[in-house]
Each structure stands twice: as C-alpha cells, then as structure tokens.
Chains A and B, each alone.
Chain A
Amino acid sequence: MTEKLLIILQIAGRRCALSALDVRSVIETGAITPVPRSPIWIAGITALRSQALTVIDCRRAIGLPDGEWPTDHRAAVVTEGGHSYALLVDGIEDITIAAGEAGQVPGGFGAEWSRVALGMIETMAGPALLIDLPALLAGPEAHRPEIEAAA
C-alpha cells in the first residue's frame, strides 16, 4: 500500500482528516469580506494573493448547530471543481500517514457527520474521520431532504 498523507484537523471538537493531496496550502486568514445573502456556512471571500477564495466555515458546512468552537488563525486551501476554498476549522494539527483504509463503524457517525465523512481512518495520530471534500463543500442544504426523509 502506498503511504497516504493526511492533514489532521479539529472540526467542532472532533478529529478529522483531509487527504493531503486535496490541500493546496495552509494560509494565514487575512481579512474576510462577508458575502451578504449567502448560506450561513459561507464565511465570506478572502484574497490569496491575486486569487479570491471562498471561505467555508466547516462546522456550519457540516450542519452542526452553533457551538463555542475556537477558530484557527490558519485555514486549509483546497480546490474543488475549479474553485478554490479556504476551510475554517478549530485547529490544524498535523500531517500524518494513514495506517489503513477508511472504513465504516457500526452505528455510523450521526446524520450530519455521515454526510461529509468517507469513513473512519486509522492514522499515526489515532483514529480520525476522513472528510469527503465535495460533500462538505456542497453544504448542509444539499442532503437535508434525504436526512429528513430518513428521520
């Protein structure tokens, strides 16, 4: 198995992992220009040099109720569908190696988390939830009907 590099993040107090291949860079978040009338999980836009990034508040993009989470002064920059995003998280912790494939756990992770998770992955830093980037960036509205239907 090829070694899989992961970036370990804290989102809403949980340890999560993003594939390092997805993360272009980690930046210091500068001034964020809010985008009026956009979904609540879009914190605004910010500039990375001459490029505009859409800033996503991951806690809200998952669809979690508001909580008292700290926010890291750094953000992970990812690219999806030709657009670049900066992900706001509680903290960016480490880069580590995956110690296995992502797998499911009995009972799931809860509706909100299951939507954005590819599964649990064992890492050198302990188990983490591997995040499905497109699902995260689609926002909580994307699967709301399904969740409601399931409930």
Chain B
Amino acid sequence: MDDLLAEFIAETREMLEATGGELVAWEADPADRARLDSIFRFVHTVKGNCGFFDFPRLASLSHAAEDALADCRAGRREADEALVTGVLAIIDRIAVMIDAIEAGEEFPEGGDDALIAALEGGAEAPADSPETPLHAPAAAQLGAGPGGGEEQTASFRRSDQRTIRLPVELLDRVMSGVSDMVLARNDLAHRLRQAGNQPTIDGPFERLTTILSDVRDAITRMRMQRIETLFGALPRLVRDLSAELGKQVMVDLDGGDVELDREMIETIRDPLTHIIRNAIDHGIESPSARLAQGKREIGLLAIAARQSGNTISIVLADDGRGLDEERIAAKAVATGLVTAAERAAMPRDKILNLIFEPGFSTAEIVSNVSGRGVGLDVVRQNLEKVGGSIKVASIPGEGTTFTLQIPLTLSIIAGLTVDAGGQRFAIPQSYVEEIVQGSARALDLTRLGETALVTFRGLRVPCLMLGEVLGLTDGEAAKEPTLVMLRLASGDLFALAVEGIHNHGDLVVKPLAPAVMRSGLYAGSTLLDDGTPVLLLDVANIAAQHNLVSDTRTRVLGPLAEDAGAAAESAQRAMLFTDFAGRRSAVRLELVQRIETAPVAAIDRSAARPRVVIDGLILPLIGLPEAPLTQSRVRLLRLSDGACELLYAVREVEDAVELTEALAPVPEDPLAEAMTLIGGTPVTLIDAHELFARHGEAPQAAARPRCTLPDGEWSRAILAPLVTAAGYDIVDPAEAGAGAIGILFEDVYEVAETLGRPLPPCVIRLRDQPDAPAGAETIYRYDREGLLAALNAAAAAAARAHAGEAA
C-alpha cells in the first residue's frame, strides 16, 4: 500500500508541475479550450485516485473543481475570473495536501468548504475581496504550507523504501550501454579464444563476464515489471468502489506473471482504473436487480492479461447488464457524433465503440465515482499514444468485455532461432508446440494444390514453408525438413517448415521501422550474441495472411488429445499394408499398437502356430507365407484388442490412411470386414473381430512370464536386474504358480532332487564354474547369453504347456 501511495503522490506532483504552466496560461485566457481540457483531466485524475486512497477531503475538492470545469466545457458557465481563481485555489490546496500526505501528517481541518463555496457561488464571493486572494502566490505557499518548514525533516523520515523517478531515456541509455558492453565482451571473448590460453587474462575476464551478466539482469528488471504490481491494487479498488455504490463485486485476476515494460504499466494504470470504475458503476447491477434477473447476487469482474507475441492483451469482463445499444446510439445522435442516417447503417459493434468518442457518456446520474465522459475518451487517447488500442463487446443482460491491446515496445521473450533460405529468423517460444524432425515421407508431407499438409499425431495439419512465405526459396521443400509446430492463441495449429533449428534463448526484441512492419511478417528485431540482427517473425499475422486462422479451423484443428475417442468415430483411419500374399490390406489404426521388426530367426515355428518373442512376451504370429522367408528380417504389425495381442506379418507397411470411401462388405471372405477404395485402388479391410476370435490368445498367455530366483545377495543384486530386464517378473517362490520358471543353483537343485522336494516344472540350474561338468544341464552363472536363451526356451515351454492345458 505504501508504495502505491508513494506512486500516487509522485504522480500527482508530476501532474501539478506539468499543470502549473497550463494554469498560468489559462488564467491569462480563460476561453482557451485546450488548457481547460488539460486542467479538467488533472482534477479528474486526482478525484479518481483519491477515491481509491480514501482521502475524502481531497476527493470533495477535486470533485467541486471538476463540476465547475465540466460546466464550462458544456458551455453552461463562462470561464470568468472568479471561476479561474476558485479552481486555482483548489489546485493549490491539493498541492499542499499532497505534501502533508507525503509527510504523514494531519492536514488542519477547515477551509475546504470556503473554497468549494467560492466555486459554486459564482461571481460574487472572490470578486468582492480581491485583496485576499483564495490562492496564495507560490512563494507564500512554500512558506505557509502546513509542515512547510518541517518538510525536509519529514521527507527524511520516510526511509523504509527509497524510490526515485527517472526519465525513461536515461534508463534506455543505460540499457543499450549494457547491451553494447555484452557485445564488446563477446568480441573480446572471441579474440581471446584465438589468442589461446592466457591465465593472467582469463581470470579477470571470467569475472567481468559474471559481473556483466548480473548487471544485465538487474537492468532488465529495471525496465520490466510483472503486471502483478498493477493487479495487486485492484481488489482493494474494487472493494472500495462497490461498497461506495452499494454493489457486490468479486474480482478475478489472471495472468499476473505477464511481464511488461514499466513505462507501459504506468500508461495502462489509469485506463484500467477508469474501466473498472465504469464497470462497477454502470455495468454491474445492484444486488436486488441481479437477483430479479436470476443472476448471482455478487457480480463478477474478471481481469486477465495475456502475452501473445508482440502484444499484450488485457481483457476486462463483467457480467453486468451489458451496454445499451439504443441508448448509446441515441446519445451519439443527440451529441452530434453521428447523424441519424449514419446510425441506421451502423452495426451494433460500431455503435458500442462510440463510447470511446470524446465527450460521450450515458450515465444519467453523475456520481462521485465515474462519469462525465472524460473516462473513456481519455482511456483511448492514452492507449493510442503508445500504439495500443481498445475495443468493447457486449451482450445485453450478460455483460461487457473490454479488450486492451498494448504493444511491447521492448520486451524480452523466450525465442527460438531457425534457418530459412540461408538466413536466420526468430520465433517466439510461446507459440511453439513441438519440433518435429524427419523425412518428408515419414511426416507424410503432401502437396495439395498450393498448400502443403503434414500428418502430426494423426491430424492433417497445414504446413507453410518458411522460405516460401518469405519469398527466399520456391518450389520443393527440403528432403528432411524440420517442422516447428505452432499453436496460435485461437487454438489453430500449423506447421512451419524450416531448414534448421539453432537455439532457444531470451531475446531482447526491439521495434522495427514502420516500412518494414508493413510487410506484416515481422514483429521486431533482436540481436544475436555476436551482434547480428535477426528478424522476429509475427507468427499470428503470417498465419492470418495464409488464412490459417478461424475459418479453416474445423478442418484443420481436428480433435485434441482429450477427445480422441470422438475422433475415432468421425475420422476412421487405417494402417495400409501389403501382406505376404501380395494383397493390399488395411487394418483399423486403433488396433495397431506398434510396428515391430523381428529377425526371421526369432520366429518359433515349433508349435501349431508360429510365435515370436517380443519384449519378453510370446505373441502369436499370423500372416506368414507357407514358403520359408527369403529375407532376414520381417515387419510385424502388433495388434491389440486391449487384452490380447497378436502379430501380423506383412511384406510392407505403407501408410496410415483415412477411410473416406464407402465400405463394401465381402461375405465370401470371413477375415475381411469390407473392401474399400484408398487412393483409387481396392483394399481389403481386415475384420478385427474374426482375427482375434481365431488367433487371439487368452490374456494370461501374453502376460509376463514369472520366475523364481535363488536366495542370496548375489541373485538379488546381480541376477534379478538381468532377469527383469529380459522381461520376466520375479516372484516369491511361495507364490509362484505352476508356470513359473525356477532358477536354482546346482547344489540346491541336487539337494532338493535327492530329498524329493517339489520343484518347479521348468528349472534353470546355475553352476559356479565356467566349465560345465559332464552330463549336467547347467549354465555358468555369468553366461548371459546362455541364461537368456534358457529363459526363453523355458518360457516358451511353459506357455505351450499352459496353452495345452487350456485346450
């Protein structure tokens, strides 16, 4: 709170200084409208700020002055000498009060009413007594002000947080000086590397580097501030205002971590306050009115800040009564802003935005809190001064949303630098969803007319070639493009094909000259560590230029991860392959777990149906030709129905495709669900139901084989990890079922056998010596290959035995 107060004091002082000259000029020529306006804005701002800080006397003074000045502006009153004197007296009094507030002292009671009366009374009062001017000359003020003499001592007392206000140019100079220093350091580092190791120089140079990066950090923080500092004051403001107006309002703040140039925070402070004021005063209804409309008694004011590329948008939404189009239109016509004919042709949206026109206000009762039409036109003026904008949207009865757009004059954003056409460009990291690398084939890069599409996570996503967008390259994309998947604020996804990715890092973004900005491709420029300038791409605008936003949204966006189920229904997809009989077939994509490649030697044809061990699982294999395979490796589609898995051997895996054509049933082939056309050629769609009914195996057969281990430290520490890694579950001998494989030391086995103790059906016997004693089926305990082979054989035997039982 204290720093806010300090801000208020500093700001008011600054305005007083600036207004000083205006006051004198206005006194000389009371008819000067521009001067009147600027003085009016000053008292208006003071009034607004006082309401926030609970300075009732300051508020009533400024309110009185504002009233009088508003009358002048409206032409209801002449700006005569009496009025000027009265206003000046009030402004002087404000200055003195500010000093007292800063010193933390009570301002002596009384005197205010006389000043206010002097204004209201019009010509008589002060004009009669010119000898005792209500506003003392400046010199007298200095001496006579309460605490005047003690002012210096008072200002020394406030020392908890020392702040100063500096011109921004000075900060900018320091900042660019530090940036220059960093570049000089980089240059020096380069030269030092060339010169070789020089311990006497390297040490101090390292220190310089550390110090410099510290200073750079501090400087950056000097300029940038979280918007939180601004948001922090809002709940109190909302509370006080709603209490004053007899309303109940809850405020919801979001995005406080967005960082903004301090200068900008200063610039938007007033606009935000004005809009909040308006929302609570005019927007949100009284609790009883809200209840009558079936709304919650408590109104909601949601304020959110978002950074999107090179702009920051702040959205203020209330759930109040909304803007009244008719009343705004009527008022605009009445005040001559638009003609009736113009009004008839205006869409609602345009009419609503008339509220930002100078001299516009619909409030019927002028309250202490808002409204004489100074608010919104000042808001817009202030924002436009820094290149921002404001617009309003409203639904009657449901609420009003103000959107403020603020450009980032200088910002530090996380960015990615990429290559295109032999040049480097930067992309704001916030847009980057993922970076995908791969061959054009794997990415399924296809050209359809002028556009290109890639397949990303099963979605067809439009793809822009950055080189082409920038006119640097034309024609074909690289064989192995790198795709940067970009997600826009609207949720649209698109891919940007680049030639290479460099690195991530913080980029200090500076504005570009207007002639360059007009191309709409760039958001700013930044310097790399070596001092080369690099252009920052305006991702949102590039997407908009290629019509990738909104209207193509449904086609492009498809399902996100959370509604993948719905996607499966809407777009049926299948894996296209050629089987060993040479038929082109397809199987529904949801069934395909993975595409495996296994050596032909791994296929076990000893049982009735062939099997393959993959990841320690024994899986049934179908689709093999009768004739022995000629190649050494075979491609396998691993299919799963959720419980069972089986492998389908194929000659070639082609592609994932969408089933767009009609499915024609094939009753004569039980294994075929249907025939369909894919890319103009017929394809057999495999009937998954029949496939699993025939070949699927009971789930337990596909479970991990279990294994018991001998006791002892060695088996726990050394044997267990090996067995686990090979895909076996280690179980306690007491819980081991019939199918478990027992691993035992030879001596233990011999004892157990001799004593006739029960042994697991499949046993692997380990021996301690590398050389096998004659006639014993044992494995040396460090013979990894032998051990794994034995495990495989045992598991296969166990599975066969199990399958035999099941049959």
Contacts and interface: CB of A to CB of B under 8 A. Distances in A.
B534 interface: yes
B516 A42 contact: yes
A52 B180 contact: no
Contact of B527 (A36, A47, A82, A137): A47
A42 B237 CA distance: 49
Interface stretch (A5-13, A27-35, A66-74, A99-107): A27-35
B522 A35 contact: yes
B339 to A, nearest CB: 30
B532 interface: yes
Interface in B515-567: 515-516, 518-519, 521-522, 525-527, 531-535
B471 interface: yes
A2 interface: no
A49 B183 contact: yes
A33 B514 contact: no
Contacts of B525: 45, 52
A121 B471 CA distance: 42
B519 A50 contact: no
A123 interface: no
B535 A50 contact: no
Interface string B175-192: 010011011000000000
Given A31-B532, A33-B534, A50-B527, A38 B179 contact: no
B668 to A, nearest CB: 60
Central interface residue in A46, A82, A83, A137, by most chain B CB within 10 Å: A83
Nearest to B409: A82
B515 A39 contact: yes
Interface residues of A, number: 24
B18 interface: no
A54 B470 contact: no
Interface string A52-68: 10100000000000000
B630 to A, nearest CB: 53
B726 to A, nearest CB: 56
B183 A54 contact: no
A85 B533 CA distance: 14
A14 interface: no
B367 interface: no
B532 A137 contact: no
Contact of B423 (A33, A38, A42, A81): A33
B180 A49 contact: yes
B505 interface: no
Contact of B183 (A38, A50, A52, A138): A50
A37 B521 contact: yes
A38 B532 contact: no
B635 interface: no
Chain B interface size, as a band, is 20 to 34
A54 B471 contact: no
B33 to A, nearest CB: 28
B511 interface: yes
Nearest to A31: B532
B contacts with A: majority SS: mixed
A46 B180 CA distance: 14
B341 interface: no
Interface in A93-138: 137-138
Interface string B491-520: 000000000000000000011111110110
Contacts of B510: 51-52
Contacts of A91: none
A85 B513 contact: yes
Contacts of A31: 532
Interface in B429-460: none
Contacts of B534: 33
A36 B532 contact: no
Interface string B650-682: 000000000000000000000000000000000
Contacts of B176: 49-51
B471 A36 contact: yes
B761 interface: no
Contact of A36 (B182, B423, B513, B518): B423
Contacts of B531: 47, 49-50
B403 to A, nearest CB: 25
B171 to A, nearest CB: 14
A82 B514 CA distance: 10
A36 B515 CA distance: 12
B722 interface: no
Contact of A137 (B512, B515, B518): B515
Contacts of A83: 511-514
B472 interface: yes
Nearest to B528: A47
Interface in B167-223: 176, 179-180, 182-183
A83 B176 CA distance: 14
B179 A49 contact: yes
A107 to B, nearest CB: 30
B235 interface: no
B179 A50 contact: yes
Central interface residue in A38, A39, A51, A139, by most chain B CB within 10 Å: A38
B527 A139 contact: no
Contact of B421 (A35, A36, A50, A139): A36
Contacts of A82: 511
Contacts of B533: 33, 45-47, 52
Contacts of A35: 516, 519, 522, 535
Contact of B515 (A34, A42, A50): A42
Contacts of B511: 82-83
Contacts of B471: 36-37
A29 B638 CA distance: 62
Contacts of A46: 533
A83 B510 CA distance: 10
A15 to B, nearest CB: 26
A38 B534 CA distance: 14
Contacts of B512: 45, 52, 54, 83
B469 to A, nearest CB: 8
A36 B472 contact: yes
B275 to A, nearest CB: 28
Interface string B221-263: 0000000000000000000000000000000000000000000
B412 to A, nearest CB: 13
Nearest to A139: B515
Nearest to A34: B423
Contact of A45 (B179, B182, B472, B535): B535
A133 to B, nearest CB: 13
A61 to B, nearest CB: 9
A36 B474 CA distance: 13
A51 B173 CA distance: 11
A45 to B, nearest CB: 5
Contacts of B518: 39
Interface string B137-169: 000000000000000000000000000000000
Contacts of A49: 176, 179-180, 183, 531
A83 B533 CA distance: 15
A50 B533 CA distance: 9
Nearest to B425: A36
Contacts of A45: 512, 516, 525, 533, 535
9 contacts: A37-B521, A39-B515, A42-B516, A47-B527, A47-B533, A49-B179, A50-B179, A82-B511, A85-B513
Given A45-B533, A50-B179, 10 more contacts: A33-B535, A35-B535, A36-B471, A36-B521, A42-B513, A47-B531, A49-B176, A52-B510, A54-B516, A83-B512
3 shortest interchain CB distances as A-B pairs: A50-B179, A36-B470, A54-B513
Interface of B: 176, 179-180, 182-183, 421, 423, 470-472, 510-516, 518-519, 521-522, 525-527, 531-535
